[in-house]
Amino acid sequence: MKSTDINISTRLGFSFGTLILIMCIIAGIGIRSLLRASEATGEIVGDRQVKVTLATATADQVNISAQNLRNAILARNQQELNLYLDHLEKNTATVGTLLARIEKTINT
């Protein structure tokens, strides 16, 4: 049986069905890829961004602590020295809290 022996409407129907099948396969692959991308985005937003935010806040507090220590060293009188040392103690406590939060988020 040759392809020329088949009715034109049958050939067109078969070709159209084949194209629909190929489009469905491509759509399935696309949906699967989107689901993978969604999972990766969820991991970035839910896990990694939190760690980056905490690390940035910790770095900022360490910088503030360094500034307070520098100011305490350069203090002109005992009152300024005590003020900067008090700020340094508060920042040290904040850094400790942030580091504890970072440790809780580390999974490896």
Nearest to residue 96, comparing CAs of 47, 45, 62?
Answer: 62
49-73 and 78-105 helices, crossing angle to 10°: 160
Give the pLDDT score at 5: 72
Average pLDDT of the chain to the nearest whole number? 91
- How far the first Cα of the chain sits from its last, in Å, is 65
Q: Identify the segments of the chain with pLDDT beneath 70.
A: 1, 3-4, 108
pLDDT of the residue at 79? 95
Model confidence pTM above 0.85: no
Residue 83 near residue 74 (C-beta atoms within 8 A): no
